[in-house]
Amino acid sequence: MENLQEEVLPERIIDEEYKTRRPISPGAEKWLFRPISCLDHGFVVLKDYLGNDSAIVEAARVSYGKGTKSVNEDIGLIRYLRRHLHTTPSEMVEFKFQCKMPIFVARQWIRHRTASVNEYSGRYSEMPNEFYLPDEAVLRKQSPTNKQGRADDLTPANKKKVLEALSEVYGLSFDYYENFLKSDIGLAKELARIHLPLATYTEWYWKIDLHNLMHFLALRLDSHAQHEIQVFGQAMARIINDSVPIAYKAFEDYTLTAMRLSGPEIEFIKNYQLGNEDSTRAEILEKFKNRRETDELMEKLEKLGFF
């Protein structure tokens, strides 16, 4: 085995700029320990990383070092892997973030179960006096067609009313919290926190491999995602774009700006003469018998330039 290691796994050359043998990403180095502000009190900061674009290529070829392939061949390989959903080489690259967000954002975020997470403990430490107060621009009415989305703007008077009410509730909640803890009541921290709102900020360390991070970004950068978590996705995307630019461009081309067509959708496009928008919608609805599928196909046809 020792002879095999000497033959197949030659010692890495020290990177003179960083004085290390580990693969370095200049783009990731640029972002280390530099927080990106998110919402009013939140942030995303890259704390550590493992690997770069070359690490994806090395894993795919099961080799070490720079190898004998050209840069263009490396780019082609990474794009091929992403295009054909060969994801395990991307799992060899990892990122560790420290993130601070409102609890309701964290509860959406934690549904992505493919990361290692260590969250701030309200049982051990006192909760911060920090609550998410939305910007006026994001205060909108409930969408009549999307049960988890927003629609029209609130009136300026109603926006003011919402923000004043939230500020009042936050202040009152934290006053009670402090009173529970620090008065003669002396309530345990794990109980004193239970009335605090979902807008309270929490933070965590979040470590994830590149493949699963891209799955997270594909969902959370989507225009249908909740605005508040989109903000955190956009911050991470900036870091990943700089850290693994070849892989991120492939992700952008084959996931973010791409679309999937189902078998019935392809069949419809092949066999139906597309008319104006109203008649086409009626044809699709008749064919699919489902309003949501009809809306989704209409969006795709619009993106393809039919309307």
- pLDDT computed for residue 4 by the predictor: 37
Both tokens of residue 142?
Answer: 């409930």
Mean pLDDT of 84-113: 96
Instruction: Judge whether residue 71 has pLDDT over 90.
Output: no
Instruction: Judge whether residue 8 has pLDDT over 70.
Output: no
- pLDDT computed for residue 2 by the predictor: 40
Mean pLDDT taken over the chain: 91
- pLDDT computed for residue 3 by the predictor: 40
Domain ranges of the chain: 2-124+201-256, 136-192, 263-303
Catalytic residue among 82, 193, 220, 281: 220
Instruction: Judge whether residue 6 has pLDDT over 70.
Output: no
What is d(CA 175, CA 296) in angstroms, rounded to the nearest whole number? 47
Per-residue pLDDT reduced to its tens digit, 246-266: 999 999 999 999 999 999 999
Query: Which CATH number applies to 2-124+201-256?
Result: 3.30.1360.170
- pLDDT computed for residue 9 by the predictor: 45
Query: Is 220 a residue of the active site?
Result: yes
Strand arrangement, sheet containing 94-102: 36-38, 42-50, 94-102, 201-209, 116-119
Reported as a pLDDT band with limits 50, 70 and 90, residue 244 is: very high
Provide the CA 16 distance to its chain's centre, in angstroms: 34
- pLDDT computed for residue 210 by the predictor: 98
Instruction: Judge whether residue 92 has pLDDT over 60.
Output: yes
- pLDDT computed for residue 27 by the predictor: 97
Weakest mean pLDDT among 82-96, 197-211, 265-279: 265-279
Q: CA 228 → CA 95, 103, 120, 223, 233, distances in Å?
A: 22, 11, 20, 11, 9
